[in-house]
């Protein structure tokens, strides 16, 4: 057993012994609903089984949020930003503990979870910095009178997040609605709730009563949150199927503002004049193998010009096959297990069906070693644009290579899916770079890069990839609605 195995063992025991409670208003409460086992994805054993929220827990969290939102919304943006900064500082002090929780809970490499922890805290500070962007306007609508607008908070915001960046999403996605003057009820994924539940404990005495609650549970808990009449703004990150279910449930009970950050089937377009060495490294980075490909922005379709396809494919497959798969706390591990047996089976199913339809496995293609949920990093060649693996989001470590002859054909293939989140264009020709970038049906495009999220630049998708933009001033303002006041003097 290595030193890191011993450290993991110790932390797994601590997780098992911890009284996992939800933050309901400013009360730490054991859930009153059924327990959901949290599984160690490295070996399929139960880590702990925290009780979930029942309908009363959800109702209490929202009611207390509605109470807390009154004073919080009346505070100045600067005061709210100060509290968010204080909370960011507390989380930063616990970053190592939070990173370990995500590593054990989600199976994601520790070095990457340390980066995620730092990113979450940095994004909280970004929204605190943007607090003074919460401005209205004076509008010269009529002579002699005053026409004013005020961006006002909604009150209670429900934040429902997926499993793939547990702490980074829980922390960063809390900040904008809070700075904008709302109280937040956060629901992490039932697969990976531990770091968010820990955040709820760490908020004690830092944030005012009611403004931050965490409820634990699956679809029923999410649904109860969405349907509560005091929740008028819902921000969801996850699959388009659940995004649609939320739109439907919300519409059944009222009019709700819903923003959706959904999946992707993102294309990397590689033209023959590109810097091939950089493109190759970036294509590996763009697949987010450190997340076992469980990343919405992954460039899981690589479209290569036929003149360089052979060289690229051979080198790319070699690079991917060389990635080190292992236990996520081990030094030097580049890819850990997937989050669940279900996700593992799902990814393997995509590979099997692709091969049956004529694709060729150029790297990986199978289950990882041991009882855990690992899938080998996989490269598929001979993929044609209409195959399931080329059109549906796998959300796993599976990348498809396709070839093209003409620029227009590459754009057509890239746009020939229902998703539209990210895109990556590789060329040294500036005209082409801009032309192709603007022709792509995608919300976030890199020219000669992949994967990087730049602070303050709006992130979000078109088509099935969602509604709304985050990580920017647009996100902050999306947690407000304008009130117009007309002062008539004559």
Q: Which residues are catalytic?
A: 261
Q: Which is nearer to ligand NAD, 154 or 395 (CB)?
A: 395
Q: Which is nearer to ligand NAD, 242 or 363 (CB)?
A: 242
Residue pair 233/181 in contact by the 8 Å Cβ criterion: no
How big is the chain by its Cα radius of gyration, in Å?
Answer: 23
Q: Which is nearer to ligand NAD, 394 or 433 (CB)?
A: 394
Least gap, CB of 194 to ligand NAD (angstroms): 14
Residue pair 79/198 in contact by the 8 Å Cβ criterion: no
Q: Is 136 in the site for ligand NAD (CB under 6 A)?
A: no
The interface region with ligand NAD, picked from 39-47, 116-124, 158-166, 396-404 by CB under 6 A, is 158-166
Q: Which is nearer to ligand NAD, 312 or 395 (CB)?
A: 395
Q: Which is nearer to ligand NAD, 227 or 327 (CB)?
A: 227
What is the number of the residue whose Cβ is closest to ligand NAD? 222
Residues 279-298 that bind ligand NAD (CB under 6 A): 296
Q: Is 437 in the site for ligand NAD (CB under 6 A)?
A: no
The token duo for 425 is: 């264009």
Task: Pick one of 105, 116, 190, 471: the residue that binds ligand NAD (CB under 6 A).
Answer: 190
Q: In the chain, count H helices and then E strands.
A: 16, 21
Residue pair 165/107 in contact by the 8 Å Cβ criterion: no
**CB crowding 407-444: b at 16 or more within 10 Å, else e:** beebbebbeebebbbbbbbbbeeeebbeebbebbbbbb
The interface region with ligand NAD, picked from 73-81, 208-216, 222-230, 426-434 by CB under 6 A, is 222-230
Q: Is 263 in the site for ligand NAD (CB under 6 A)?
A: yes
Task: Pick one of 73, 155, 162, 326: the residue that binds ligand NAD (CB under 6 A).
Answer: 162
Give the span between the Cα atoms of 200 and 305, in whole angstroms. Answer: 50
One symbol per residue from 442 to 481: x for binding ligand NAD (CB under 6 A), - otherwise; what is it?
-------------------x----x---------------
Measured in Å, how far apart are the chain's first and last C-alpha atoms?
A: 83
The token duo for 207 is: 């944030």
Task: Pick one of 106, 124, 160, 283: the residue that binds ligand NAD (CB under 6 A).
Answer: 160
Q: Which of 22, 53, 255 is nearest to 154 (CA)?
A: 255
Give the span between the Cα atoms of 329 and 438, in whole angstroms. Answer: 41
Give the span between the Cα atoms of 190 and 222, in whole angstroms. Answer: 10
The token duo for 8 is: 């993991």
Q: Which is nearer to ligand NAD, 337 or 461 (CB)?
A: 461
Residue pair 175/159 in contact by the 8 Å Cβ criterion: no
Task: Pick one of 271, 316, 373, 395: the residue that binds ligand NAD (CB under 6 A).
Answer: 395
Contacting residues toward ligand NAD, per CB under 6 A: 160-164, 187, 189-190, 218-219, 222-223, 226, 237-239, 242, 245-246, 261-264, 296, 393, 395, 421, 461, 466
């Amino acid at each position: 057993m290595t030193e890191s195995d011993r450290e993991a063992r110790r932390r797994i025991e601590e997780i098992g012994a911890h009284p996992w409670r939800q933050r309901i208003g400013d009360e730490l409460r054991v859930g009153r609903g059924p327990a959901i086992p949290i599984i160690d994805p490295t070996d399929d054993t139960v880590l702990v089984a925290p009780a979930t929220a029942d309908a009363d827990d959800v109702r209490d969290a929202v009611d207390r949020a509605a109470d807390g939102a009154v004073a919080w919304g009346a505070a100045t943006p600067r005061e709210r930003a100060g509290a968010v900064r204080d909370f960011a500082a507390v989380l930063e002090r616990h970053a190592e503990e939070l990173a370990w929780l995500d590593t054990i809970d989600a199976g994601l490499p520790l070095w990457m979870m340390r980066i995620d922890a730092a990113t979450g805290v940095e994004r909280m500070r970004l929204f605190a910095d943007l607090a003074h962007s919460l401005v209205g306007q004076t509008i010269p609508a009529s002579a002699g009178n005053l026409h004013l607008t005020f961006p006002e908070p909604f009150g209670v915001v429900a934040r429902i997040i997926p499993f793939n960046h547990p702490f980074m999403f829980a922390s960063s996605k809390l900040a904008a609605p809070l700075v904008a003057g709302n109280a937040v009820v956060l629901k992490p994924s039932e697969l990976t709730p531990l770091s968010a539940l820990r955040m709820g404990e760490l908020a004690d005495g830092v944030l005012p009563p009611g403004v931050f609650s965490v409820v634990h549970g699956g679809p029923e808990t999410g649904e109860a949150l969405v349907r509560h009449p005091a929740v008028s703004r819902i921000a969801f990150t996850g699959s388009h199927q659940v995004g649609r279910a939320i739109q439907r449930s919300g519409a059944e009970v009222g009019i709700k503002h819903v923003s959706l950050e959904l999946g992707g089937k993102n294309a990397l377009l590689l033209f023959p004049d590109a810097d091939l060495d950089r493109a190759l490294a970036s294509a590996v980075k763009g697949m987010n193998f450190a997340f076992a490909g469980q990343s919405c922005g992954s460039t899981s379709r690589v479209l290569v010009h036929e003149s360089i396809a052979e060289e690229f494919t051979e080198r790319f497959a070699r690079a991917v096959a060389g990635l080190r798969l292992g236990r996520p706390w081990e030094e030097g591990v580049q890819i850990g297990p997937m989050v669940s047996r279900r996700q593992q089976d799902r990814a393997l199913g995509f590979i099997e069906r692709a091969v049956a339809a004529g694709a060729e496995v150029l790297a990986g293609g199978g289950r990882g070693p041991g009882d855990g949920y690992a899938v080998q990093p996989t490269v598929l060649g001979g993929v044609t644009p209409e195959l399931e693996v080329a059109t549906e989001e796998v959300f796993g470590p599976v990348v498809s290579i396709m070839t093209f002859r003409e620029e227009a054909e590459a754009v057509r293939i890239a746009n020939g899916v229902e998703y539209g989140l990210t895109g990556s264009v590789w060329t040294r020709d500036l005209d082409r770079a801009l032309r192709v970038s603007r022709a792509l049906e995608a919300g976030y495009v890199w020219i000669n890069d992949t994967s990087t999220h730049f602070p303050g630049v709006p992130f979000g998708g078109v088509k099935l990839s969602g509604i709304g933009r985050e990580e920017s001033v647009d996100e902050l303002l999306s947690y407000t609605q304008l009130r117009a006041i007309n002062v008539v003097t004559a």
